Structure 1
Amino acid sequence: MAMKIIIFVVATFVLFAGDVISKRYPPMPIEDCPERCYCRDVDCLKEKGELFCREVDFICFNANVADRLDVLPVNTTRLSIIGENMGHITLDMFSRFFELKKLNLSQNSIRSLKITKAMRFLDFLNLDNNRLCYFPLEEMVKLLPALKILKARHNNLTFLHDIQFPPRLVRLDLSNNHIESPVKGSFRRLKKLEFLNLANNSIREIHPVAFRHLKKLQILDLDRNQITQLLPGSFAHLPSISFLSLRHNRIEFIGQKAFRQIGVRWHGQHQIRLEHNRIKILRKESIDVLFSRRDIYSLYLAGNPIFCDCGMMLIRDTAGDMLRDADTTLCHSPSDLKGFYVGDLDFPGCVEEEEDNYEDDYYDDYY
């Protein structure tokens, strides 16, 4: 009897689930759509015999709708306006869309941006490929409380000082700008941030506490900047980091314990990318804090003018598989070893030092 009841319940669930799935519909085109716009109802399903769509999506290319937003329904939830010459705008113009969640304003030649009215549901804002020189300083925190993703690639941003980003941000992409330095406090409110892209900027130095408050940050991209050195503790307060990329910079010096406590909460694989810099001598004390977890770290050095000596060979041997590209990292000097691979170094006279207690250094002062 019990078995029959179970079979009946399972069968009923399958039928019910199939019925629910059958009620979902693909996006439905909206007939009354402005010229050069693509309009549709999305996330549609049938309830009690009637079709109901949760989202209204408008995508307009060179349609000149910015000056006549009244042609769009007020219940629009996703709006893309691309290819217009907006110049100086205020986000208040979109406040009439009381349910707006996603706003794409890329490629509009926007030079300045203001906001004075709250957009309570906006969680995605794309400002890529404009001409912005700055963000509103304090307004974003109060008036964009739900914002989770902010993209502002390929603009003219130069500084982050005094900017207060919305605290719920999970992804922030400011790549391909002219930012000179992520100063102390730039990201202090972003305790939920998981992804930060600052690649292709003009950053010359990393403030030792620039990233101090980013406890959930997993990916940090600093490729193609002008960074010359990594000061002690530069990345010491990134416990959740899994990918740190510093490729194509001008790094010559890595301070002692620059990577101290990096990724201590992340138990998956880690990558630290240092390829194509100006690192000539890699000192053991610069990376020894990584040795205690060498089985989950991947360190890349190819493209640096490495000076190959006993010290470099001993680092290679201590790092083991952690140094992922030893077989493709070329020696640049001394002259008699130029062109040799670090993975092929063999100095019979080198004596490996007694291994330190790296575990204590790695976790000290964190917990």
Structure 2
Amino acid sequence: MKHFGGFAVLWLWIVEALENCPDACKCIQKKDVEGTEVNCYKQGLHHFPLKFPLDSWILKMGENIIQELPANILRSLPKLESVNLERNSIKSIHPQAFSGASRLMLLNLYGNQLTSLPTKGFKDLLNLRFLMLGQNRIASVKSDMFIGMRNLSDLDLPMNSLTTLPPNAFKPLIALKVLDLALNRIQKISPKAFSGLEELLFLNLDNNRLKNIQAGIFKTVNNLEMLVLDNNLLSTLSSSMLEGLSNIQELYVRKNRINSLPADVFRHTPKLTQVALSGNQLQTIDGNMLANVQGLKHVYLHDNPWKCDCDINSLVQYIDQTRLNRAPLEKLWCVSPEEHRGKPMHKLKSEGLLCDA
């Protein structure tokens, strides 16, 4: 009789899930979590379904034609932890669209047509860990967009239309560890843009339009371990730009327009282990600057127009004395003067490096 009772409960659970499963979707019960996975992937849906199994755990609704998210679409789903709405045609989100979804941990809105985010639109998502907003048309970010998301650890905003980062833009995100802003059009970062992000470990600003970075911008993210500034328009890199990055381990500034590095550029980055400056306009740098960063293990300087005269002597000595990860340093080739054009730098001798009197 006891077994019969358990079977009856299971049967009622299955019946309820099947009855409330949206048309054209597949609903699968997951016994290990006592929840239902609802799969509506690529079913031509124009609207967000009105009903779901009450124990819905995961919603997979990618590659449909949904254009808007109305209010309270998730309110009746207390067990919901993951919603995937990637590659729809979503243009608008009601400020109360996610009301009541307090257990939601992942929200994927990648590849839609959003131009803005609703004020306080995510305030009920107290347990959200991952928010994917890449490949939309979002033109601005403000702190009131992120109110309530105190546990968010990963915010992905690549391939949008951001041009500036205003003060306190991400301030409510006190637990954020990963911030991806690659492939936007960012030209200006306000001095307090990253205020509140004391837990941030990874910041990606690859492929933007940054010409300059004001001193002290990174002071508020002093736990940052990796910073990517590749494919921007930076003409210089200075110690004041890197001020506050006392825990940075990896720094990538490839394919910019940097033509010189001051001797104290890494004064504020004592834990640096890897630096990449390939694809810039460097003709010479002080090898002692690299030697003085004691933990530095990986240095990438190829694809620069190196001028192999007496000013490059300290770099040649640094290459000769370096034993760890020599391969990238052996890719440095002289562009000038004519007598050294095409020669690998690691084969040069100090006595052959001449300068005009």
**Match of 1:255, as an amino acid?**
P
**Match of 1:308, as an amino acid?**
C
**Match of 2:303, as an amino acid?**
G
Does the 8 Å CA contact 1:205/1:227 hold for their aligned counterparts?
Answer: yes
Superposition deviation, residue 38 in structure 1? 6.3
Distance in 2 between residues matched to 1:310 and 1:323, nearest whole Å: 25
Does the 8 Å CA contact 1:313/1:342 hold for their aligned counterparts?
Answer: no
- Give the match's secondary structure for 1:272: strand
As a proportion of its length, which structure holds more strand? 1
Distance in 2 between residues matched to 1:60 and 1:100, nearest whole Å: 15
Superposition deviation, residue 143 in structure 1? 2.3
Question: Pairwise mapping of residues 76-115 of structure 1 onto structure 2 (< 5 A)?
Answer: 76-115=80-119
Does the 8 Å CA contact 2:75/2:99 hold for their aligned counterparts?
Answer: no
Deviates more, 1:66-75 or 1:251-260: 66-75
Distance in 2 between residues matched to 1:210 and 1:153, nearest whole Å: 20
Distance in 1 between residues matched to 2:31 and 2:165, nearest whole Å: 37
**Match of 2:161, as an amino acid?**
N
Superposition deviation, residue 66 in structure 1? 4.7
Distance in 1 between residues matched to 2:204 and 2:26, nearest whole Å: 30
Indicate how the Cα distance of structure 1 residues 91 and 168 shifts in structure 2: closer, same or farther if over 3 A, else same.
farther
Does the 8 Å CA contact 2:196/2:220 hold for their aligned counterparts?
Answer: yes
**Match of 1:300, as an amino acid?**
Y
Question: Pairwise mapping of residues 68-83 of structure 1 onto structure 2 (< 5 A)?
Answer: 69=73, 73-83=77-87
1:328 aligns with 2:331: yes
- Give the match's secondary structure for 2:188: coil
- Give the match's secondary structure for 1:229: coil
Q: 1:150 aligns with which of 151, 155, 167?
A: 155
Per-residue CA shift, 1:138-160, capped at 9, x if unaligned? 21453222211100111101100
- Give the match's secondary structure for 1:254: coil
Indicate how the Cα distance of structure 1 residues 88 and 201 shifts in structure 2: closer, same or farther if over 3 A, else same.
same
Q: TM-score, normalised by structure 1?
A: 0.76
Does the 8 Å CA contact 1:192/1:214 hold for their aligned counterparts?
Answer: yes
**Match of 2:66, as an amino acid?**
N
Q: 1:248 aligns with which of 239, 255, 260?
A: 255
Distance in 2 between residues matched to 1:240 and 1:258, nearest whole Å: 15
Does the 8 Å CA contact 1:39/1:58 hold for their aligned counterparts?
Answer: no
Match of 1:21 in 2: none
**Match of 1:201, as an amino acid?**
N
Indicate how the Cα distance of structure 1 residues 160 and 167 shifts in structure 2: closer, same or farther if over 3 A, else same.
same
Identity percentage of aligned residues: 26
Question: Pairwise mapping of residues 341-360 of structure 1 onto structure 2 (< 5 A)?
Answer: 341-348=344-351
Deviates more, 1:123-132 or 1:79-88: 79-88
- Give the match's secondary structure for 1:253: coil
Deviates more, 1:141-150 or 1:210-219: 141-150
Question: Pairwise mapping of residues 21-100 of structure 1 onto structure 2 (< 5 A)?
Answer: 31=18, 32-35=20-23, 44=32, 51=34, 56-61=57-62, 62=64, 64=66, 66-67=68-69, 69=73, 73-100=77-104
